[in-house]
């Protein structure tokens, strides 16, 4: 893959971090780029390991390993947080990851997959389950924010008697309860995919493979042994962890000194790099008319971010005494809910074309431009609790 030409950035980023720690922008930029080949290696090794497993389980494992980059970033951000300064970045990154998968990645898949074709058809099991889970996830992520914003805005206009401290604490408790409930939903999703309905998804993915015999033979040909898969995963994880640590250390300087807001950093910049390799894989699958595989790689990470990664961030923060909650800015959570509705509407008929893909990408660009100009807002959220 073309991203392999970026491997020289990995040692360069590590060397610059230790040799010139004062070059904050360069360290951030090099580690930002270095995340891409490291994540790609992790995804490639995960894909090779997936070939040695049952089909649905393999795809889910591949998706999970691709999301490890995101989990590592969240954990590093939580660990490095001091006084709640990085909590807004984590919260924006959670929603930004969902937006990038739903609008940018899925849009590019529909666009490039639709070139030269009237449309592409995908199985209703993939689209219906994905859309339903995303709606539930969006509802779960919205509730703590709606609770906080409603009581906060009404406190000065009604007879509601609640102090800021009590409101923050209540919102944090609701966030933690919601995180546990979303984890239960993720376990149900895994059981549905891997046990009770795995035969349906096996048939869907096998049908896609048979559409392209050359690709099917290439997919079945093992490029790495089992031991080589584990070694490659270990190397990729080490590189990802180092790049994540060095990247996070520079975020505060970029936000405070370079005029980049927490919202743009988390909603746009961080998700683009953490999912770049997986996005390229999904686009390649759509181009080869493997649209069900592409949907798995677009909807799967979105579901995992909402039902696993975000709850994990809340629970880990809870465990180490950090007030990480799901009290997002209303602006951002509304964007995510509307995006889920837009994508759900496009998935409803079981067909896609380049027009729908182009519209999704344009919506993402509008969000990116708006986020750049969205002012830095200090929210009295969980960080104060």
Q: What is the pLDDT of residues 320-352, one digit of tens each?
A: 988 899 999 888 899 999 999 989 888 888 888
Tell me what pLDDT residue 211 has.
Answer: 60
Q: How many domains does the chain have?
A: 1
**Which among 57, 102, 96, 106 is positioned nearest to 73, based on CA atoms?**
96
User: Taking a C-beta distance cutoff of 8 angstroms, is the pair 248, 74 a contact?
Assistant: no
The CATH number of residue 167's host domain is 1.20.1420.30
pTM of the model: 0.85
pLDDT for 143 equals 93
Which residue stretches of the chain are H helix? 9-19, 24-51, 55-80, 87-99, 106-114, 124-154, 164-191, 198-210, 213-220, 226-257, 262-264, 270-274, 276-287, 291-304, 310-319, 330-347, 354-373
Rounded mean pLDDT of 176-193?
90
Predicted confidence band of residue 184 (pLDDT cuts 50, 70, 90): very high
Q: Among 7-21, 204-218, 222-236, 257-271, which stretch is predicted with the lowest mean pLDDT?
A: 204-218
Interaxial angle between packed helices 124-154 and 87-99, expressed in degrees from 0 to 180 and rounded to the nearest 10: 150
Answer positive or negative: Cα dihedral of 263, 268, 273, 277.
positive
Domain, as residue range, for 378: 2-384
Q: Decide if pLDDT at 158 tops 70.
A: no
Kindly indicate the confidence band of residue 245, based on its pLDDT and cuts at 50, 70 and 90: confident
Please tell me the total number of residues recorded for the chain in this structure: 385
- Is residue 113 scored above 70 in pLDDT? yes
3-state secondary structure 200-244: HHHHHHHHHHHCCHHHHHHHHCCCCCHHHHHHHHHHHHHHHHHHH
141-150, 181-190, 266-275 — which is least confidently predicted? 266-275
Q: What is the pLDDT of residues 59-71, one digit of tens each?
A: 677 767 777 888 8
* pLDDT confidence of residue 199: 59
Confidence of residue 208 (pLDDT cuts 50, 70, 90): low
Q: What is the pLDDT of residue 375?
A: 77
Which position has the higher pLDDT, 200 or 323? 323
Which pLDDT score is estimated for 56? 64
pLDDT attached to residue 156: 59
- CA–CA gap between residue 268 and residue 97 (Å, rounded): 8
Q: Which of 17-21, 256-260, 283-287 has the highest mean pLDDT?
A: 17-21
Instruction: Please report the pLDDT score of residue 198 as a whole number.
Output: 58
How many percent of the chain have pLDDT more than 90? 30
Segment 189-205 shows an average pLDDT of 68
First to last CA, the chain: 47
Pairwise pLDDT comparison (296 vs 310), residue with the higher score: 310
Distance CA 11, CA 20 (A): 14
Q: Residues 214-240: what's their mean pLDDT?
A: 80
Supply the pLDDT for residue 120: 87
Question: Alpha-carbon Rg of the chain, whole angstroms?
Answer: 21
**Burial (0-12, 13-18, 19+ Cβ within 10 Å), 15:** exposed
Tell me if 197 sits within 8 A of 29, measured CB to CB. Answer: no
Q: 76-85, 237-246, 371-380: which range is least confident on average?
A: 371-380
Is the pLDDT at 379 greater than 60, yes or no?
Answer: no
pLDDT category at 385 given cuts 50, 70, 90 is: very low
Residue environment code for 214-247, b if the CB has 16+ CB neighbours within 10 A, otherwise e: ebeeeeeeeebeeeebeebbeebbebbbbbbbbb
Q: What is the pLDDT of residue 297?
A: 81
Higher pLDDT, 206 or 112: 112
Instruction: For residues 163 and 146, give the distance between their C-alpha atoms in angstroms, rounded to a whole number.
Output: 17
Q: How far is the C-alpha of 14 from the C-alpha of 374, rounded, in Å?
A: 33
Contact between residue 320 and residue 78 where contact means Cβ atoms under 8 Å apart = yes
Determine the 3-state secondary structure of 351 from DSSP: strand
Average pLDDT over residues 227-242: 90
Q: Is residue 206 scored above 80 in pLDDT?
A: no
For the cut 80, the answer to whether the pLDDT of residue 207 exceeds it is no
User: DSSP characters for 115-176?
Assistant: TTSS-EE--HHHHHHHHHHHHHHHHHHHHHHHHHHHHHHHTTTSS----HHHHHHHHHHHHH
Six-digit token pair at 189? 């999703």
- State the chain's mean pLDDT as an integer: 83
- With a cut of 70, say whether residue 50 has pLDDT above it: yes
């Amino acid at each position: 893959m073309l991203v392999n030409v970026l491997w020289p950035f990995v040692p360069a980023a590590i060397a610059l971090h230790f040799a010139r720690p004062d070059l904050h922008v360069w360290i951030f930029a090099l580690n930002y780029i270095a995340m891409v080949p490291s994540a790609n290696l992790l995804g490639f090794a995960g894909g090779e390991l997936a070939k040695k497993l049952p089909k649905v389980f393999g795809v889910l494992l591949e998706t999970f390993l691709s999301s490890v980059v995101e989990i590592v970033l969240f954990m590093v951000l939580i660990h490095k947080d001091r006084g709640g300064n990085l909590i807004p970045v984590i919260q924006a990154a959670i929603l930004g990851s969902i937006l990038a998968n739903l609008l940018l990645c899925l849009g590019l898949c529909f666009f490039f997959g639709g070139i030269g074709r009237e449309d592409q058809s995908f199985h209703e099991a993939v689209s219906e389950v994905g859309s339903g889970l995303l709606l539930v996830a969006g509802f779960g992520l919205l509730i703590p924010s709606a609770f906080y914003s409603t009581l906060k805005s009404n406190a000065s206009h009604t007879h509601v008697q609640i102090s800021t401290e009590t409101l923050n604490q209540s919102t944090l408790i609701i966030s933690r309860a919601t995180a546990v409930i979303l984890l239960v939903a993720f376990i149900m999703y895994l059981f549905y995919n891997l046990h009770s309905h795995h035969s349906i998804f096996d048939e869907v993915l096998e049908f896609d493979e048979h559409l392209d015999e050359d690709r099917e033979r290439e997919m079945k040909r093992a490029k790495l042994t089992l031991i080589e898969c584990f070694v490659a995963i270990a190397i990729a994880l080490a590189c990802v962890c180092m790049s994540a640590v060095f990247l996070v250390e520079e975020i505060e300087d970029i936000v405070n000194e370079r005029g980049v807001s927490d919202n743009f950093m988390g909603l746009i910049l961080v998700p683009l790099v953490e999912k770049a390799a997986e996005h390229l894989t999904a686009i390649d699958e759509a181009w080869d008319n493997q649209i069900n595989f592409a949907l798995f790689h677009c909807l799967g990470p979105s579901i995992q971010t909402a039902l696993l990664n975000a709850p994990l961030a809340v629970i880990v923060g809870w465990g180490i005494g950090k007030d990480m909650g799901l009290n997002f800015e209303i602006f951002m959570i509304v964007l995510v809910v509307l995006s889920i509705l837009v994508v759900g509407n496009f998935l409803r008929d079981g067909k896609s074309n380049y027009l729908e893909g182009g519209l999704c990408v344009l919506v993402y660009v509008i969000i990116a431009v708006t986020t750049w100009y969205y002012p830095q807002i200090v929210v009295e959220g969980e960080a104060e609790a």
